Amino acid sequence: MTLDTAAGDGVPSDIARRYPRRVELADGSQAELELMGNDDIDDILAFARTLPPNDLMFLRVNITERSTVRQWIDSIRAGRTITVLARQDGRMLGESTLLHNEANWTRHLGEIRIQISPDARRRGLARVLAREIDAIAKQVGLQLLTARMTLDQSAAQAVFRRLGFQREAVLWDYAITPDGDTQNVLVATKRL
């Protein structure tokens, strides 16, 4: 990982220089990709309100809470997280996050998380954002990416499979809904 960071925010400068930039989606429309920063808190909170409760339920943190989004920003500043936002006409369509830990025995691993607004799905945005994180992970020297999703998220599984992720494990009854039903979680990995 390069130690030269952009504006003290924890993102390596060679990565930060790639943003913002425009990309074409599968439906021919354009989206602008940019790195998440301190000025994006309100947009993240507004975006989180567009997500169905089922999408929010299985996130590791509650992104509908301002304090949680501030902690997310702190993690970006500390260099443990890199988040790419996708916007169209100023409105946030989705986010993709690379989480990594510099602990000695797991410093080669990263986890990818993607959230797409329901009205922006099936337009190729998840694939675009996943490729961004894949490229960033390689650039910071990671060797293995992981992704987690529930077994019923077939669209997410298809996106990750097309990107070269392979099913690694199923964690039976790993997640629990607010009403007490358990869900099985698929862990997929990709060697970089």
pLDDT digits (tens, 9 = 90+) for 85-133: 999 999 999 999 999 987 788 899 999 999 999 999 999 999 999 999 9
70-89: per-residue pLDDT in tens? 999 999 999 899 999 999 99
Chain-centre distance for alpha carbon 170: 20
> What does the pLDDT read at residue 118?
93
Handedness of CA 21, 166, 116, 44 (dihedral sign): negative
Range of weakest confidence among 20-29, 36-45, 59-68, 109-118:
59-68
Q: How many whole angstroms separate alpha carbon 55 and alpha carbon 34?
A: 23
Looking only at the bridges linking them, the beta strands covering 144-150 and 91-100 are unpaired
The domain limits of the chain are 13-145
R_g over Cα of the chain: 16
Of the two residues 131 and 56, the one the predictor is more confident about is 131
Q: Which residues pair with 148 in a beta bridge?
A: 187
Q: Answer whether 135's CB lies under 8 Å from 100's CB.
A: no
Asked whether the predicted pLDDT for residue 137 surpasses 50, the reply is yes
pLDDT of residue 62: 87
Span of 51-60, 101-110, 111-120, 168-177 with lowest mean pLDDT: 51-60
Q: What is the band of 10 on the pLDDT scale with cuts at 50, 70, 90?
A: confident
How would residue 175 be classed by pLDDT, with cut points 50, 70 and 90? confident
Fold observed for domain 13-145: Aminopeptidase (3.40.630)
Count, residues in the chain: 192
Would you say residue 49 has pLDDT above 70?
A: yes
